[in-house]
């Protein structure tokens, strides 16, 4: 009885591919994906303000051992940082970096970055890029993968490099160069 049931399931899974009503194959052209991909280079400055009246990054969690850790291991910070065209915070705002950075290394200052760049300029207004990567903030240049996007950046893939432009008590200004393939 058990053996015949076993063979029944074995055969049914091999011979009849189960059809699912919630998923179907469509042609790439139905989404305009038969076009060649574009490669875009985005350049902007991120302002991470950790204190003061215009604070844009707040620590939301930490472990009991975080204060004793030289790398702040375990600290989790939520940010909504403005992105500007130039290093000056008063220059044109092109979007925001919204997400989390968390100290994920016990041996150096290394953050796990999980953030969305959300753009607000012109035709890019509302489009976003999702970044998930490692940010060793004391390195001259850090590279993080761009794992996806929305709006004009649907199907985006690429990478971002971050370079500290200014580091002060209240604020860090980070220069970003982002290269993404998208349609
Ligand atoms: C906070 O932002 C306001 C408005 O942009 C600005 O006038 C003010 O100088 C900023 N304060 C600080 C401490 O940067
Ligand atoms: C971006 O889109 C939002 C929502 O649609 C709108 O309120 C805002 O005015 C737009 N901003 C720009 C700069 O076009």
- What pLDDT, in 10s, does the model give residues 77-92? 999 999 999 999 999 9
- The verdict on the CB of residue 126 being under 6 Å from ligand 1 is no
Handedness of CA 144, 81, 85, 129 (dihedral sign): positive
Contact present, 112 and 119 (Cβ < 8 Å): no
Mean pLDDT within 140-149: 98
- Ligand 2 pocket check for 125: Cβ under 6 Å: yes
Q: What is the pLDDT of residues 112-125, one digit of tens each?
A: 999 999 999 999 99
Number of neighbouring beta carbons within 10 Å of residue 70: 9
**5 assigned to some structural domain:** no
**Whose atoms come closest to the Cα of 127: which ligand?**
2
Could you tell me the pTM of the whole model? 0.88
Give the list of residues 6+ apart from residue 21 with CB closer than 8 angstroms, or none.
none
Pairing assessment for the beta strands 171-182 and 128-136 based on DSSP bridges: unpaired
Residue 13 lies in a domain: no
- Residue 174 in any domain: the answer is yes
Confidence of residue 107 (pLDDT cuts 50, 70, 90): very high
> Could you give phi then psi for residue 169, rounded to 5 degrees?
-65, -40
Ligand 1 centroid from CA 164, angstroms: 21
Predicted confidence (pLDDT) at residue 10 exceeds the cutoff of 90: no
Smallest-distance ligand from the CA of 95: 2
Choose the residue to mutate in 53, 80, 81, 92 for probing ligand 1, maximizing ligand atoms within 8 Å of C-beta.
53
Q: Which domain holds residue 100?
A: 37-182
- Is the CB–ligand 2 distance for residue 120 below 6 Å? yes
Q: What is the pLDDT of residue 66?
A: 98
Residue nearest to atom 2 of ligand 2 (CA): 125
Would residue 21 count as lying in a domain? no
CATH of the domain at 172: 2.40.480.10
**Residue 54 Cβ < 6 Å to ligand 1:** yes
Does residue 92 have its Cβ closer than 6 Å to ligand 2?
A: no
Atom of ligand 1 nearest to the CA of 90: 5
Give the pairing of strands 171-182 and 76-84: unpaired
> Is residue 25 one of the residues assigned to a domain?
no
| 6 domain-assigned | no
Q: Is 37 in the pocket of ligand 2 (CB under 6 A)?
A: no
Count the domains in the chain. 1
Q: How far is the CA of 124 from the centre of ligand 2 (A)?
A: 10
| 101: helix, strand or coil | strand
Q: What is the structure's pLDDT at 19?
A: 81
Kindly report the backbone phi and psi dihedral angles of residue 66, in degrees, each rounded to the nearest multiple of 5, phi listed first.
Answer: -60, -40
Ligand 1 atom nearest 52 alpha carbon: 13
Residue 158 maps to a domain: yes
Is residue 1, in this structure, part of any structural domain at all? no
């Amino acid at each position: 009885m058990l053996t015949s049931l076993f063979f029944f399931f074995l055969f049914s899974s091999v011979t009849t591919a189960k059809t699912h009503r919630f998923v179907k194959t469509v042609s790439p052209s139905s989404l305009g994906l038969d076009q060649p991909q574009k490669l875009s280079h985005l350049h902007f400055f991120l302002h991470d303000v950790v204190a003061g009246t215009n604070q844009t990054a707040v620590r939301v969690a930490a472990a009991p051992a975080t204060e004793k850790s030289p790398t702040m291991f375990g600290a989790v910070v939520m940010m909504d940082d403005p992105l500007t065209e130039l290093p000056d915070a008063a220059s044109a705002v092109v979007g925001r970096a919204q997400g989390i950075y968390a100290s994920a290394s016990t041996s150096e200052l290394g953050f796990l970055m999980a953030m969305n760049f959300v753009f607000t300029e012109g035709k890019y207004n509302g489009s976003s890029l999702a970044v998930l990567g490692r940010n060793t903030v004391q390195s001259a240049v850090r590279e993080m993968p761009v794992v996806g996007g929305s709006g004009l950046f649907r199907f985006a893939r690429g990478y971002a490099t971050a370079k500290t432009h200014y580091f002060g008590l209240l604020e860090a200004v980070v220069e970003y160069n982002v290269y993404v393939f998208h349609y």
